[in-house]
Structure 1
């Protein structure tokens, strides 16, 4: 992860922005507003954000788990998500907010987090780089305690589709920084053919899955809400939130929330709603669990992987 620039400015927001306000800002970008060629040397910060017990419990229940006093790291992600989006919705941000593809996510949780805690949320963007489908960048969120202790870091990698600006060599940039293919499902030609093992579970997701996640997370992006609104953005049907599938896989991995952990997710193909997802969980023998979710083969079409999830204990020394 990149170090914080010594020239970085920190903008304090009075509260966590609402999703409607963020998307309205992205939709009402000033005509002729010029985008910067670089990411802003700026962080958005919200202090003393309370982790709401009712929201945390609703999130646990939606993922199929029991409500506990310890916070699912997916709650930390949705808590910070609108803060990071407010930074990406700036009129001069190098890429447009609408149409970004979430290709991977990594959360490193330094300690357990209790519901009701007050935390500070800081969001910044880093490492704009070319990709054969456009450009990638990282949205880096730091969750801190009131005394400045780092509780968790959340790095979300996004793909902005389209041609890279002139002068950027995107031809050889087919992978994300950690070496995994940073694609959106269109990178299949550069990957080995996916051959699934026997599934250990099956999810049947109905058409309302996106709306239920939106109620808990606040993320009411139209592509998740209904087929009608999804078609306006080029999708034949609504698609499940990527962090819904990742968070459900996390819960079903039965991690130990009392210890530091790392949660890695790679998204490859969207889950259309309604839809069926086959999943397989495997323990690695060292306290970690790997999960894959895929679309079953059907009608002569091969199986297609939707996501990969790894949950591992973190040794923070």
Structure 2
């Protein structure tokens, strides 16, 4: 067992990191070869957690489940920048994200983030998805687990008619909000994700989009806050499947079934995100960092 103190530090999301991602070329590595990384985070930044809570509208004092993605994202990007990851990062599409909470972390103590990569066999149309699984632990106890799935190779168009979509569940309206035109830049400053598609109209057009879109995890974070507010408890599990982009300035609506644990986020008349969730029955909306 390695001494955690000897592990490399969890890299920040910086302009230099994003430039490396933009210019990373596909490697000749075997896509079936195992790829795993381990990083050390010296401690959670309580001030940053507080800013995240305020920006997304969380109640209570716990660490929000979706905040952990900001840590997992840093581990994921560092892992995908490894020469052994055989795909380019430009053009990769975040298609699904699953977060699961463990114990609330203690302040001032380190976390170990261990990540592994799984690459699915190509679909019939040639599309390839890669999943990155990260588990964060503190003193051997799980704090959170995150699985992010990315479309890393787009499939061929055509291939016959698509199967009919499953009928949408009958969900009750829960919340709505209006995205500000500057919300992409605000969330980028909070998350460190300065992907040009989220920032300005001109930068989005340079990347092939007609308009800037919000970060998918911005939508999922706001969804998490609204579900917790309605249920009166923190979430211990949240899955989000990203179906369609949400443009900055759009009106967004959340509908959910709190008893069945399913939700849909709609914008511009179509489903943008949908998934499932589970409340933490052991907590009401309180519980700060553990101080043990």
Map 1:1-317 onto structure 2 (within 5 A). 12-29=7-24, 34-66=27-59, 68=61, 70-114=62-106, 116-131=108-123, 132=125, 134-145=127-138, 147-163=139-155, 190-192=164-166, 199-254=173-228, 256-257=233-234, 261-284=236-259, 289-296=261-268, 303-313=269-279
TM-score, with normalisation over the residues of structure 1?
Answer: 0.76
Corresponding position of 2:288: none
For residues 234-258 of structure 1, what are the alpha-carbon distances to aligned partners after superposition, in whole Å with 9 as ceiling and x for unaligned?
A: 111111111111111111111633x
Structure 2 gap segments, 5+ residues each? 1-5, 282-292
Q: What is the aligned residue count?
A: 271
Report the Cα offset of residue 283 of structure 1: 1.2
CA distance in 2, matches of 1:217, 1:105: 16
5+ residue gaps, structure 1, are 1-10, 165-170, 173-186, 297-302
RMSD of aligned Cα (Å): 2.9
Q: Could you tell me whether the CA contact under 8 Å between 2:65 and 2:236 is conserved in 1?
A: no
- For 2:199 and 2:66, locate their aligned partners in 1 and report how far apart those are by CA, in whole Å: 20
Counterpart contact for 1:48–1:118, Cα < 8 Å? yes
What do the CA deviations read for 1:124-153 (whole angstroms, capped 9, x no partner)? 2113332346111111111010x2222211
Structure of higher RCO (CA pairs closer than 8 Å, 6+ residues apart): 2
Residues 214 and 248 in structure 2, CA contact (< 8 A), matched pair in contact too: yes
> How far apart, CA to CA, are the structure 2 residues paired with 1:249 and 1:129?
32
